[in-house]
Amino acid sequence: MKNSSLRYNQNLFPDSEIKKLIHQFKQKGFVILPNVFERESVKKFKTELEEIMFHNGISYTIPDNSPHYMAGALAPRGRQILPHSLSDSIAKPMPSIHTTIIVIETDKTNGYAPDWHKDRQPDGMPGKEYHFSSDVFLAFYFEDITEEHGPTQIIPGSHQDNTLNPYNDSKVESILLNMEDALLIDQRAWHRGISRKAPGTRFVIVYGMYALPQHYGTTFQMPHAQIHHWMNADNLNDRVYFGGPFAPPTKETIEIFTKELNNSEFLINFTFPKMS
Ligand SMILES: O=C(O)CCC(=O)C(=O)O
Ligand SMILES: [Fe+2]
């Protein structure tokens, strides 16, 4: 599998910038994170995405064992901002990836961009007081997005104010950003994808991150009895109750685990941090 050419800006945001970005995020329901990648590397990365994309019978996607699948989620500036977008507590929850959505629209699959929706209902009381979302989404486009390139559109403020929606005259904003930027979006806001007018392929890779609270035993080896319940769960509630957001391993994933274990110095030497 080909390596990813994506290169990151290693300079983290100064504190003053974090405050500004989070202020806008809370107010509008989205914020553009500038200069998350090295611009020239994004051009190569986009070409690589075009090389590895394939049709799985339902939609275009990319292989989930390719480094490209996770590349966006590794950006230091993105990871730096995430805890601040989930809480202003000092004991911040830890962001944990629960979903990766790959939206690829080609000339053939025109119209694949999703129409107006909210991916979440408002948590807490909508109104003047801000309530943090239980999860947030980071999105990447890997090209300069103008009105011609199928921007994501949003109704700013609709994450908090239920009177704002696409069916009255609420103001709509196109989210225009550069290829080296990322979008942090509150999925309680109304938003949609627009089909591109410019020739070419529209990629949107979205990572959903939920706020894992700082519980005792955040990372633990699952007791065998719990593994038994998890692997034998016959309904979604039980599966989540015993195993969190992830499905139990399949034979294929066990083979992958075995390979990773055999290759990983780190896993072999790893001892779990003691919780106070
Ligand atoms: O395609 C887009 O611009 C938005 C994608 C989106 O909203 C989603 O995948 O939930
Ligand atoms: Fe969405």
Q: Check pocket membership of 189 for ligand 1, CB cut-off 6 A.
A: no
Distance CA 112, CA 107 (A): 10
Q: What is the structure's pLDDT at 221?
A: 83
Q: What is the structure's pLDDT at 129?
A: 84
Q: What is the mean pLDDT of residues 169-188?
A: 97
**Which pLDDT band, with edges at 50, 70 and 90, does 272 fall under?**
low
| Cα of 219 from ligand 1 centre, angstroms | 31
**Chain segment 225-259, per-residue pLDDT in tens:** 999 999 999 999 999 999 988 899 999 999 998 99
What average pLDDT is seen over the chain? 92
Question: Given ligand 1 and candidates 59, 98, 101, 145, which is best to mutate, with the most ligand atoms within 8 Å of its CB?
Answer: 101
**Chain segment 179-201, per-residue pLDDT in tens:** 999 999 999 999 999 999 999 99
| Cα of 76 from ligand 2 centre, angstroms | 23
Residue 35 sits at the vertex; the CA angle it makes with 34 and 39, to the nearest 5 degrees, is: 135
Question: Any idea which ligand is nearest the CA of 102?
Answer: 1
Q: What is the dihedral of CA 46, 47, 52, 54, to 10 degrees?
A: 80
Write down the residue that tokens 């394939």 correspond to: 54
Q: What is the pTM of this model?
A: 0.91
**Which pLDDT band, with edges at 50, 70 and 90, does 93 fall under?**
confident
Q: What is the dihedral of CA 68, 70, 72, 76, to 10 degrees?
A: -130
E strand segments, 109-190 = 135-140, 152-154, 173-175, 182-185
Q: Check pocket membership of 152 for ligand 1, CB cut-off 6 A.
A: yes
Among 8-12, 71-75, 230-234, 266-270, name the one with the lowest average pLDDT.
266-270
Q: What are the chain's domains?
A: 15-212 (2.60.120.620), 224-269 (no CATH)
